[in-house]
Amino acid sequence: MEYTVQKLTRLAGVSTRTLRYYDEIGILKPARISSSGYRIYGQKEVDLLQQIMFYRELGVSLPDIREILTSPDFDKVKALKEHKNRLLEQRNRLDMLIRNVEKTIAYTEGRIKMTDKEKFEGFKQKIIEENEKKYGEEARQKYGDDDVDKSNAILKNMTQGQYEELQRTEEKCRKTLLEAFKTGDPAGPLAQEAADLHRKWITFFWGDYNKEAHAGVAQLYVDDEALLSTMTRISRDLPGF
């Protein structure tokens, strides 16, 4: 079956402007242009739009989606299975947060008791899942499943005070790192302070500090092109940089 822009927008629930933009950036081009000058989309384009919408729902940027879909190694079935797994992860996290809200309501109304640990379970699980998604495979290959599982368990068992201190350390580390970028001096005092804050932050997850392991984590950051790109873009936006 073939669709005009108008018909496809009604089918997929996207705007005509979105389809035109996708055509403009080369991520979703029509199958053909009719004699009347209308964009015509076929089954292949419909399936491709579905893939794009899956990735957008998962927060993937359009440039990254284009790179994924145009890769010669792109496997549609594998991609769909990955979509399913990531959506299940999101559903599990949302279910946990919903349960947490329900328990908090009952606790606030005086119907149940709630430990400080329980109050933060959903938020800590989100951190674990995000870290697993970004660095889990490399970390498990480098350090082994036992060490990674131990780190996750430490986070899950943090008290309210420890969790709040972790958040404060993370925020201070981030701000100090951005300030260090302004100086352009990786050996300067601000850069050293940022490194020390990162040491404190990462020790929250490890329990015990290991200099060699810390260097390994730093290398993971260096090898992460997406992270480097983000940091470079942020640094360019800093006043006076």
Q: What angle do CA 30, 35, 39 make, to 5 degrees?
A: 20
- Rounded Cα distance, 22 and 30, in Å: 10
Q: What is the pLDDT of residue 238?
A: 43
- Rounded Cα distance, 181 and 200, in Å: 20
Q: Is 32 helix (H, G, I), strand (E, B) or coil?
A: strand
Return phi, psi of residue 132, to 5°: -65, -40
Q: Tokens standing for 18?
A: 């979105």
Residue 27 · residue 19 · CB < 8 Å: no
Task: Give the residue ranges of DSSP H helices in the chain.
Answer: 5-12, 16-24, 43-57, 62-70, 76-108, 116-119, 121-131, 137-143, 145-156, 160-183, 189-206, 211-223, 225-237
Q: What is the pLDDT of residue 170?
A: 85
Q: What is the pLDDT of residue 23?
A: 94
| DSSP character string of 140-174 | HHHH-HHHHHHHHHHHHT--HHHHHHHHHHHHHHH
Return phi, psi of residue 40, to 5°: -120, 130
Q: What is the pLDDT of residue 231?
A: 53
Q: What is the pLDDT of residue 99?
A: 79
Taking CA atoms, 122 is separated from 134, 157, 163, in Å, by 19, 12, 12
What angle do the packed helices 145-156 and 189-206 form, to 10 degrees?
90
Model's pTM, two decimal places? 0.47
Q: What is the pLDDT of residue 232?
A: 56
Distant-in-sequence contacts of 209-215, Cβ < 8 A, 24+ apart: 213/143
- Domain ranges across the chain: 3-70, 75-114, 120-237
For tokens 């996207």, the residue is 14
Query: pLDDT in tens for each of the 241 residues of the chain?
Result: 899 999 999 999 999 999 999 999 999 999 999 999 999 999 999 999 999 999 888 878 888 899 888 888 888 888 888 888 888 877 877 787 787 788 788 888 989 887 766 766 666 666 777 667 766 676 677 667 777 777 777 777 777 677 778 888 888 988 898 888 888 888 889 989 988 998 888 888 777 788 887 887 777 777 766 555 555 554 554 443 3
Residue 74 CB neighbour total at 10 angstroms: 12
Residue 51 · residue 58 · CB < 8 Å: no
* CATH 1.10.1660.10 correct for 3-70: yes
